[in-house]
Every structure is written in C-alpha cells, then in structure tokens.
Amino acid sequence: MIIYKTPQQIEEYAQGAGVLSARVLREIGARVKPGVSTLELDQFAETFIRLHGGVPGFKGLYGFPGSICASVNEQIVHGIPSKNVILKEGDIISVDTGATVNGWVGDNAWTFPVGKVSPEKKHLLEITEKCLWAGIEAARPGNRLGDVGHAIQEVAEGAGYGVVREYVGHGVGRVMHEDPNVPNYGRKHTGIELKPGMIIAIEPMINIGTHRTKTMDDGWLVVTRDGKPSAHFEKTIAITEDGPRLLTCEPDFMRPVNK
C-alpha cells in the first residue's frame, strides 16, 4: 500500500531527515581517502547523526550492524563496515546511509572515488550519477514507475553497462522501505502512476559488466557475479505538483529539479 504524504509532512521530512542524511553523506565523502577503514567511516557517521539530533536509520534495520553500508569496487550494496576493510588509492566506495529525524527515515547513497581512480571507474561513476538524475527527471506526476526505470536503463545500457535487477529503489516514510518498489529498468508508460505525495528513493546500481549478482556468506554483502566494479547513487525525492523535489539534499540545493 502506498502511503501518500501531505505537503506539510514532505516539508518536515525535507527539513529534518532529508537535510541530515545529505549532510552526513557529504561529510563521510570528505573523509574517504587511502588508509581509512570503513569502520572509521561508520563510527563517524553514527556520531555525526546523533550529535545532530538524529538516529542512524540503518543500524539494527533487519539486523544490519552498521550506520552505513560500505561497498567497495565489485561490491554492489550492503557491505558491513569493518576495521579490516582499508580503502586504497584507486578504489571506489558506495556509502549508503540515512538519519531518522522526528520519525521520518532518510535514505541516500553516493559512490566516492578514493584518490585517483582508473578512467574505467571514473566513467562508471559519471554514468551512474547520470542514471540517477535521469530517473529523478522522469519522476513527475502523470508519469509511471516504468518511465523512471526506463530513463535509468537507457543511460546505463547506452554506455554498455549492466543494470542490477534484484535490488531496487522504494517508497520511504516512517519506515525505510515502503511501497512501491522502484526498479532501475522498465518500459515507458507502464507501472504505477506517480502522484503528488509519494516519497521515493531512486537508487540505480550499475555494473561495468554483467547485471548478475551474488550474495556473500555473511548474508549481507552483494557483489557482481563477474567481479567487475559497480556503482550506486541514491536520492530520496517527493513527487509534487511541480515535479520531483529533492529531499535528501542540503538547503542550498533544496528545490525541485525542473528543466
């Protein structure tokens, strides 16, 4: 069941969970460098979120131990932060995190380069971010979920990349995962109609090679089947009468994405 939010609830989300989730993600990005462990990033995230009046939304969710998911190189999503995972020059790391503020759950992700990365990885990051914005642009009242997925898939496959199928975006609200699912693939003019009041997380997960995935023995970590790198970018948005409104963003950027 899709839970529609009032304009006031969307505003509350934006001002609290939206801003803090974006802020902590940016601050984590500033701390991504060679020699840093993913556990250090996780501890920073938890402290930062709590200091600013939030609660880490990921910690304990379905039993996940961290405040961030930290997924390096061929790891797609759900990497558990560890003192044994030390970032190296040339890695890419997807950080997925969120803060819960006043009962609203924030969710966003970004893939950061560690120092200088190969042209191949740089291109993957550029295209995956482009996928995110293409999906957001398509998230307008009257469009359907298939239009969002199609927009993402077109950019990714146009570059020869694989679109992960098993993990998708989702509705967000008082809990992290609400209806509907928001796939990163689809056909135009199909699926659920987007209507004002929906809050959804759009999160393309794009692989250089095959779209196929594998879950590791810890039951969490998802990697590419062929071991090639993967990237992941996510923002939570609201569907408004005027178009998509970014919610997980900082105040200077808090405006609808209009052409």
Q: Which of 150, 132, 129, 137 is nearest to 243 (CA)?
A: 137
* Sign of the Cα pseudo-torsion (219, 221, 222, 223, in order): negative
CB neighbours of residue 180 within 10 Å: 17
The amino acid occupying position 4 is: Y
Locate the DSSP E strands across 58-182. 68-72, 75-77, 92-97, 99-101, 104-105, 108-113, 162-163, 169-171, 178-182
Q: Is 107 in the site for Mg ion (CB under 5 A)?
A: yes
| Smallest distance from Mg ion to CB 109, Å | 7
**How far is Cα of residue 168 from the mean position of the Cα atoms in its chain?**
10
CB of 86 or CB of 175, closer to Mg ion = 175
| Smallest distance from Mg ion to CB 63, Å | 17
Q: Which of residues 144-173 bind Mg ion (CB under 5 A)?
A: none
CB of 148 or CB of 201, closer to Mg ion = 201
CB of 117 or CB of 236, closer to Mg ion = 236
In degrees, rounded to 5, the angle at the alpha carbon of residue 66 between the alpha carbons of residues 35 and 36 is 5
CB of 151 or CB of 202, closer to Mg ion = 202
**CA-to-CA distance for 80 and 67, rounded, in angstroms?**
9
Q: Is 24 in the site for Mg ion (CB under 5 A)?
A: no
| Smallest distance from Mg ion to CB 201, Å | 4
| Smallest distance from Mg ion to CB 142, Å | 24
**CA-to-CA distance for 165 and 212, rounded, in angstroms?**
8
Q: Is 8 exposed, middle or buried (0-12, 13-18, 19+ CB in 10 A)?
A: exposed
Piece in contact with Mg ion (CB under 5 A), picked from 103-111, 178-186, 212-220, 251-259: 103-111
Q: Which of residues 39-98 bind Mg ion (CB under 5 A)?
A: none
Instruction: List Cα–Cα distances, 191 to 3, 28, 111, 121, in angstroms.
Output: 17, 35, 28, 32
| Smallest distance from Mg ion to CB 227, Å | 24
| Smallest distance from Mg ion to CB 145, Å | 15
Judged by CB under 5 A, the number of residues near Mg ion is 2
Write the interaction track for Mg ion spanning residues 173-212; mark x where CB under 5 A is met and - where it is not.
Answer: ----------------------------x-----------
CB of 147 or CB of 203, closer to Mg ion = 203
CB of 73 or CB of 236, closer to Mg ion = 236
Please list the residues that pair with 75 across neighbouring strands. 223
| Smallest distance from Mg ion to CB 33, Å | 25
**Are the beta carbons of 49 and 67 closer than 8 angstroms?**
yes
CB of 91 or CB of 107, closer to Mg ion = 107
Site residues for Mg ion per CB under 5 A: 107, 201
